[in-house]
A and B are shown apart, each in its own frame.
Chain A
Amino acid sequence: MLSHKTIISTLLSVLLLLPVFAQAGDLMPVVPKAKAKANPDTLCIRDVKDMRKNHMKYILHKRDKTLREGVRTKQDSLAECISCHISKNDKGEYASFGDSKHFCSSCHNFAAVNIDCFDCHNDKPTAASKTGSTIK
């Protein structure tokens, strides 16, 4: 019969090794790097963990501020997200939403979370939209 100690240590080692297995099996999403840093001092708009967990709340809040009140700051603007986080596909063109090379899709495909942002919003930057080098 296995002792409690053996069970716990086996479980712990499996848990510790899980990320390694995941990496090895290509089970984690490959998220493309942003091409520009929003704020040179802090490197990102917000902490990466915070953004991964709460980005939907930030952009949801911002959409109402922009549409209903006309607040057009760059912070949390979807167009600014796109202009920094856009990446190209194998053909060298900007990846469309749905393509795993598209920043949003890279994770949303993995997590099977469907979003309808790009039914209306452009999923690529246009000539007029600039990279968010300064956040107001």
Chain B
Amino acid sequence: MTQPVNNKETTTDIYRRQFLGKTAAAAGLALAPGMILTEVAHARSADQPASDKNRWGLLINTNKCGTGCTACVSACQTENGWGEINKSEPHSKASQKAVWIRKVKLKDKLTGHVQSLPLMCQHCEHPPCVDVCPTGASMKRKDGIVLVDKHICIGCRYCMMACPYKARSFIHEALENQKVHAPRGKGTVESCTMCVHRVDTDGTPACVEACNAEGHQAMYFGDLKDSNSAISVELRNNGGQQLRQDLALNTGVRYQGL
């Protein structure tokens, strides 16, 4: 008679164990999303794609930007291998050569007030360059960075005409000694990539780093979708203007002090 009783006890025990096991698993599952949420704010691993949970942006304070200072421009050239450091395109005029970022001087004729600011691809939410591209080479990543896929760019330059910021350049001649992380070549259009290779490894664009190193601290880089990021806090507290706000492109690059 003892046998059935024992059997019953064993079955109950198994049920109890299974129940406890399932509860523990459920608790584990409940924890997992929380852990993923905290990870999004920081670096993603190399095998994870860029997500629309981030939108990378820049904020430039024109009052802090040094007139005559070109640290951001030289840093971009060194990082991405264009301009002075790459002596290619010998048959092209200076005005025909690639410019990823340039310093622009604004002078108010009435007051004589002079402002200086760096101008590069504004990484629009609704980029006109992407709209006009016939091949899909001009594209916007999920995290808001606007790029040219040079693999399928046919060099038609529609995007250069469509861009209201004159941010794109065309390469006319064969190049050599490109940077490994910044491939660029003849017959394709290019522009500021917001140092996407750095962003993907949780880094900061070269221009921002150079500006900070110069002690100007005029540029912020960060996630516009993260309300606690330095750039979002600064934008919330002190505002930031878009260039050509009337075009409603919702640019990822904002300016203060204009």
Contact = CB atoms under 8 A, between A and B. Distances in A.
A119 B174 contact: yes
A67 B147 contact: yes
Interface stretch (A33-41, A46-54, A100-108, A125-133): A125-133
A72 B46 CA distance: 5
Contacts of A79: 180-181
Interface residues of A, number: 23
B185 A119 contact: yes
Interface in B200-217: 200-201
Chain B CB within 10 Å, residue with most, of A69, A70, A125, A126: A70
A58 to B, nearest CB: 15
B47 A125 contact: no
Contacts of B185: 116, 119-120
A74 B201 CA distance: 13
Nearest to A129: B180
Contacts of B141: 68-70
Q: Is the interface of B mostly helix, strand, loop or mixed?
A: loop
Majority secondary structure, A binding face: loop
Interface string A63-95: 111011111111000010010000000000000
A136 interface: yes
B183 A122 contact: yes
A122 B177 contact: yes
Closest 4 CB pairs of A and B: A120-B185, A69-B49, A70-B50, A120-B183
27 contacts: A63-B151, A64-B151, A67-B147, A69-B141, A70-B49, A70-B141, A70-B196, A70-B199, A72-B197, A72-B200, A72-B201, A73-B46, A74-B46, A79-B180, A82-B180, A116-B185, A119-B186, A119-B187, A120-B178, A120-B183, A120-B184, A120-B185, A120-B188, A121-B183, A122-B177, A126-B179, A126-B180
Given A67-B151, A70-B200, 17 more contacts: A64-B151, A67-B147, A68-B139, A70-B143, A70-B199, A72-B46, A72-B200, A73-B47, A119-B174, A119-B187, A120-B150, A120-B175, A121-B178, A122-B177, A126-B180, A128-B180, A136-B46
